[in-house]
Structure 1
Amino acid sequence: MRIRTFREEDRLALRRLFTRAGRGSPTETLWGHPESEAQIYLEPYMDLEPESLYLAEADGELLGYLTGCVDTAAFPSENDRIDKAVRAHRLILRRRPAAFFARSALDAAGAALRRAPSAGEIHDPRWPAHLHINVAPEARGTGAADGLMERWFVRLRVAGSPGCHLQTLVENTRAVRFFGRMGFTAHGPTPAVPGMRYLGERVHQRTMVQSF
């Protein structure tokens, strides 16, 4: 297994990996439209911070990736990226995404009425960096994820970052265990994520942090 930084010629292979990495997990897809989801969670990192994008490769095949951002406050917000993708792909006119966003609006309205905590990004100077990591099903247990995280930690230490946060799902127990093993600890409440369902049930955001 080789861990290396992203190169421009990796774009096509990385987009293909994006559509299959995480398969079978609660975070496999949001609304079943990989092109728009990649525009939110992959392409901005290739375009704006490629030096923080690491790839796991074996025998010339990409098996995992980590997209990172050293300063979340300087990166386009998740909401802005979602709005841009919705417009670019006309998601409101597509049946499955439209159903997701309608359900999301209802979930958010219900949470507001109950004055429940809301899911979303965090902005805390103690943990300004953030990451997303995914590996292909066949690469789980091979050390690919560990290698990607170790390279990311080196990047943050060289940059002088005080800390990093990430967001996963409570229901993604494998991911929560992995991040705990890598030194992250749970932080804050676990609100339900508007719109998202896994096996027909609500899912809940789990924020985790690590200081350096």
Structure 2
Amino acid sequence: MSAELQDREPISIEIRPYAAFDLPGMYRVCLQTGASGQDATALYRDPDLLAHIYAGPYPVADPGLSFVAADEQGVLGYVVATADSHGFDAWLEKTWLPPLRHRYPRSLAADPGDGTLDWQRVEQIHTPRPSGPDALYDRWPAHLHIDILPRGQGTGLGRRLIDVLLDALRERGVRGLHLSVGASNPGARAFYLKLGFTEAERHGWGSVMVIDPTDVRG
């Protein structure tokens, strides 16, 4: 996840609902921000693998909660979300993950020792989603992923994308949104705190941030 911390000169950026032709650009953005906001291209042999998990399924499952930011060079950022994390996880297990598990067999989930991380994502694809009661999902059922390329950072784009998503969640009556922030990305944590998120959980890997969309107006 990437986020801006300071203002830059404004550039012309359009935010619009997701369209199918945006998906290749979203996959590119996901990879180029996939190392705690930095370019993860060198970390993956398969350039699509990261986005198969963190970008691709969301506009397929619920395109109404996916929004794209674009300028004259193309897609430079997006926010994707689900309003129902329980339902989304069930949909992943039934619809999205089986073809990926066939494409990326479990045998690929072995560290080749060359610094690439494909094997970790393959293991993630083959790890069943937890089921049953979850206090976090019950109180804050929606979750999001947001990524912005460096040329869009520091322009206020992160706030604009979050505001658009919060508006969409309010229209659906969704009263809780959560996201995860890695410990290696303190700038993102500061960004969310500035937007009104609070820290619900802290772990060794990072924090879970939460917000009630009905408490915030864009």
For the criterion TM > 0.5, the same-fold answer is yes
Contact 1:67 1:133 in 2 (8 A): yes
Report whether the alignment pairs 1:15 with 2:27: yes
- Say what the alpha-carbon RMSD is for the aligned residues: 3.2
- Alpha-carbon deviation of 1:179? 0.8
Partners of 1:136 and 1:58 in 2: CA distance: 11
Partner of 1:124: 137
Aligned identity (percent) is 26
- Alpha-carbon deviation of 1:21? 3.0
Partner of 2:5: none
Sort the Cα spacing of 1:78 and 1:40 in 2 relative to 1 into closer, same or farther, 3 A: farther
Partners of 2:145 and 2:31 in 1: CA distance: 14
Contact 2:33 2:39 in 1 (8 A): no
Partners of 1:27 and 1:70 in 2: CA distance: 28
Higher mean C-alpha deviation, range 59-68 or range 164-173: 59-68
1:41 to 54, 57, 61: 54
Partners of 1:128 and 1:189 in 2: CA distance: 18
Partner of 1:208: 209
Partner of 1:53: 66
Partner of 2:150: 137
Partners of 1:186 and 1:84 in 2: CA distance: 35
Segments of structure 2 that go 5 or more residues without pairing to the other structure are 1-12, 125-133
1:150-165 pair list within 5 angstroms: 150-165=163-178
Report whether the alignment pairs 1:88 with 2:109: no
- Alpha-carbon deviation of 1:138? 1.5
Sort the Cα spacing of 1:139 and 1:122 in 2 relative to 1 into closer, same or farther, 3 A: farther
Contact 1:5 1:55 in 2 (8 A): yes
Report whether the alignment pairs 1:3 with 2:15: yes
Partners of 2:117 and 2:34 in 1: CA distance: 19
Amino acid aligned to 2:182: L
2:203 to 178, 182, 190: 190
Q: Please give the TM-score of this superposition, normalised by the length of structure 2.
A: 0.71
Any idea what SS the aligned residue of 1:38 has?
helix
Partners of 1:67 and 1:102 in 2: CA distance: 22
Amino acid aligned to 2:211: Q
Any idea what SS the aligned residue of 1:142 has?
coil
Contact 2:31 2:39 in 1 (8 A): no
Partners of 1:99 and 1:35 in 2: CA distance: 13
Amino acid aligned to 1:71: D
- Alpha-carbon deviation of 1:55? 0.8
Larger relative strand fraction: 1
Any idea what SS the aligned residue of 2:203 has?
coil
Contact 2:36 2:184 in 1 (8 A): no
Any idea what SS the aligned residue of 1:146 has?
helix
Segments of structure 1 that go 5 or more residues without pairing to the other structure are 105-120, 192-203
Any idea what SS the aligned residue of 1:76 has?
helix
Sort the Cα spacing of 1:89 and 1:55 in 2 relative to 1 into closer, same or farther, 3 A: same
1:48-69 Cα offsets, whole Å, 9 max, x none, are: 1111101111225211000111
